[in-house]
Structure 1
Amino acid sequence: MPDALPVTLDDVRDAAARLKGVAHRTPVLRSRTLDALAGAEVFVKCENLQRVGAFKFRGAYNAISRLTPEQLARGIATYSSGNHAQAVALAARELGSSAVIVMPEDTPRLKREATAGYGAEIVTYDRYTGDRVAIGEALAAERGLTLIPPYEHPHVIAGQGTATLELIEEVGELDALIVPIGGGGLIAGSATAAKGLLPGVRVIGVEPEAGDDTKRSLAAGERVPIPIPRTIADGMAAEIPGELTFSVNRHLVDEVVLVSDDEIREAMRMAFGRLKTVVEPSGATPLAALLAGRLGQPPRRIGVIASGGNVDVGRFTELLAAHP
């Protein structure tokens, strides 16, 4: 392991202090049925109940709150499939700034409407033909905005790690932590917090079968691009891991497992039926991995980050009604 990674446990703790009283300290849910199905004690950290409905508020606020008054006055730019968009829009509004968001044309309506509702300007693009990073960077340069990317930023990563910090503070020892992987910011922050507090914990990432860029990259020892994934887990449709996030994850993530769209649907059903909570497809992937037996012989105490709940009623009903 290198002497110094770009984000440390102290950075996560500093982010937690900055977020105190601003971000929700989300609940940890338990279910005897889930424990029985998993063969372990399972602790579900409900970031679907976070502000904007996802963990993304933590990282966005942590990063934007550190900008100068001049930067805040000029405004913020980002690119996002939805949850980071809402997070940046809300954090910018709360800090007296403005936001311009580059979003895919096929972003779920709920996420687009919520982003606009927080006061952001939305610029759309085709995720299958356009380069959102290039569009976002050009837009920021043209308008003099500060770009806050969804995961390629140390303050964003540190902010995301505060969910795991809270989880471990509340439940104590964990043998494993299961976290969704899109661009890698959540698991980078989560692994930083988990390994810093519990050096022996096993950190397991989860990706949809169609979007296994991080799994392939860890196996290769370098970032490997894939075709843009087509999956119900729209928040995880990454084609290559982030450079900064991969520099953390290659050292701190122990394993990446894959789940199918049908397994994600089943996890959403379980969360709704037994935990009485709504989790979007991306946020349900860790539960899907657990329920599908992807961990093999399960550890005794398992933490699960349910990363978001932004799915509208029509889409939620459609997904749960679908059968293999």
Structure 2
Amino acid sequence: GIKATIVLPDNAPQVKVERIKKAGATILRHGSHYGDSEEKAAELGKEELVLIHPFDDPKVVAGQGTIGLEIDEDAPSDLEAVLVPVGGGGLISGIALGLKYTRPQVEVIGVESYAAPTLTEALKAKKPVPIRPLPTCADSLSPRYTGDISFEVATDRIRQVILLTEEELIEGVRYCLEELHLVVEPAGGAGISALLAGKVEIKSGPVCVVVSGSNLDKKYFKEALGL
């Protein structure tokens, strides 16, 4: 029965807003970008609420790390790589840590949008750096920076980050709808998009793709199907 307040930007996908409402949380709209919402959430955390950061929090990363443990349990012994969508980096850093000791030979590959290459730019600069994200269909992959935890893990475990165009992200949505009969948002299907675009360099072994997120806006649903 713990109450939750979720801070979202004004342009958050309506499907995401409706699902949060259905879960019983209070929604507070602030700003035009998730970075604005994050700043407001931080203010509330100092005043009256407990802040749960969406990606740069040890407990959040640890929770997402259980996906890495599940991959270890279910994947074949010759698993070569895991493809993970990258926004702030909490998901990929958790998975990378989960696999670090159980499958150290497995390559963890990040997938970002050209509109918000936070991890790519951080690795270039050798430190997290703020960016100015461009509008993108993959809204949950567009923070203004990579988290400190994510960057630390990335420098140790992540050797490759793939960048995708808007068209490539939408193609992943189309493939999931038509071929797999799965409703997947552009961000969640980024790994599949990377494979379809031929941007993943794999030697011979099987690949695991982490698909996370089905908050598919009607606009992109129609675009993916050419409606």
Q: TM-score, normalised by structure 2?
A: 0.93
Q: Distance in 1 between matches of 2:52 and 2:103?
A: 30
Which amino acid is 2:41 matched to?
G
Of residues 57, 66, 69, the one that matches 1:162 is: 66
Asked if the contact 1:176/1:299 (under 8 Å) is kept, the reply is no
Distance 1:159 1:229 in 2: 29
Paired with 1:130 and 1:294, the residues of 2 have a C-alpha distance of: 29
The 1-side partners of 2:199 and 2:160 are apart by 11
Aligned to 1:225: 130
Please point out which of 114, 133, 156 is paired with 1:209: 114
SS of 2:187's equivalent in the other structure is helix
Per the alignment, residue 303 of structure 1 pairs with 208
Distance 1:250 1:225 in 2: 18
CA distance in 2, matches of 1:268, 1:177: 19
Pair 299,221 (structure 1): closer, same or farther in 2 beyond 3 Å: farther
Measured in 1, the distance between the counterparts of 2:89 and 2:159 equals: 14
Alignment of structure 1 residues 105-120 onto 2, 5 Å? 105-120=10-25
Alignment-derived partner of residue 185 in structure 1? 90
Asked whether 1:264 is paired with 2:169, we answer yes
- What is the one-letter code of the residue matched to 2:197? A
Change (3 A) 1:187 1:322: same
- Alpha-carbon distance between aligned partners in 2 of 1:229 and 1:321, rounded to the nearest angstrom: 24
Task: Note closer, same or farther for the CA distance 1:180–1:115 as it changes in structure 2 (3 Å cut).
Answer: same
Counting matched residue pairs gives: 226
1:138 corresponds, among 43, 48, 52, to 43
Higher relative contact order (CA 8 A, sep 6+): 1
Identity of aligned residues (%): 36
Deviation string, structure 1 residues 277-318 (Cα, Å, up to 9, x no partner):
111100111111111111234542101000111114x23432
Say which is worse superposed, 180-189 or 206-215, in terms of deviation: 206-215
Match of 1:319 among 218, 223, 227: 223
Contact 1:229–1:238 (Cα < 8 Å) also in 2 = no
Residue 131 of structure 1 aligns to a residue whose secondary structure is: helix
Superposition TM-score, scaled by structure 1 size: 0.66
Question: Kindly tell me: are residues 122 and 217 of structure 1, through their superposed partners in 2, closer, same or farther at Cα, counting changes over 3 Å?
Answer: same
Of structures 1 and 2, the larger Rg is shown by 1
State the shift of 1:260 in Å: 0.9
**Matched ranges for 1:1-324 at <5 A:** 96-128=1-33, 131-143=36-48, 145-173=49-77, 174-312=79-217, 314-322=218-226
Q: Distance in 1 between matches of 2:87 and 2:101?
A: 22
Q: Shift of residue 99 of structure 1?
A: 0.7
**Structure 2 CA distance for aligned equivalents of residues 142 and 167 of structure 1:** 39
